[in-house]
Amino acid sequence: MFTIDASVHINALNSAEEGSLESQVFLEQTSRRPWPTFSPTLLLVEVATAVARAFDNAERGAMLAQAVRNLPAQIWVPLDESLADEAARLGAERRLRGADAVYAAVARRYGTTLVTRDRQQLERLPPTLPAMTPTEALVWLAGLERTDRN
């Protein structure tokens, strides 16, 4: 099971960015898996605002956030006081930016692996929390497929 940071979703939308194809393939593969993806509701805000800013188009941002909301097997986790406290502690301990700490707290709470393109999360979270890039997650998923076939 995964928690997928907004950096992966946003990277998948911009084919000019490094790693965009891997992010696209990873998101496509996870949407076809039978297990849930745990996402903070913050993801919807981050996707909407990043897309609206990048394309100077509020409607496009809102439309893409709605598309993310409708992805299969999503478990939406609201940022309540308990999660905010957990994110604050984890963010302070690991020296993360605020939004990054929210994703990490969701991953820790639900025992998922955080998939991100954010270098700080990748460097600062392990061994506290498993974190990997979309490329690493694709390798892991390919290993699962080989195991399932045997």
The pLDDT of residue 143 is 87
CA nearest neighbour of 121 among 88, 86, 85, 90: 90
Render each residue's pLDDT in the chain as its tens digit; 150 residues. Answer: 999 999 999 999 999 999 999 999 999 999 888 889 999 999 999 999 999 999 999 999 999 999 999 998 999 999 999 999 999 999 999 999 999 999 999 999 999 999 999 999 999 999 989 999 999 999 999 987 666 665
The pLDDT of residue 107 is 98
d(CA 42, CA 80): 11
The pLDDT of residue 148 is 60
Structural domains of the chain sorted by starting position, each given as residue range(s) with its CATH number in brackets: 2-149 (3.40.50.1010)
The pLDDT of residue 147 is 66
d(CA 14, CA 145): 28
The pLDDT of residue 144 is 77
Alpha-helical (H) ranges within the chain are: 6-13, 20-31, 42-55, 58-69, 81-94, 98-110, 119-124, 134-149
Query: Which residue type occupies 127?
Result: P
17: helix, strand or coil:
coil
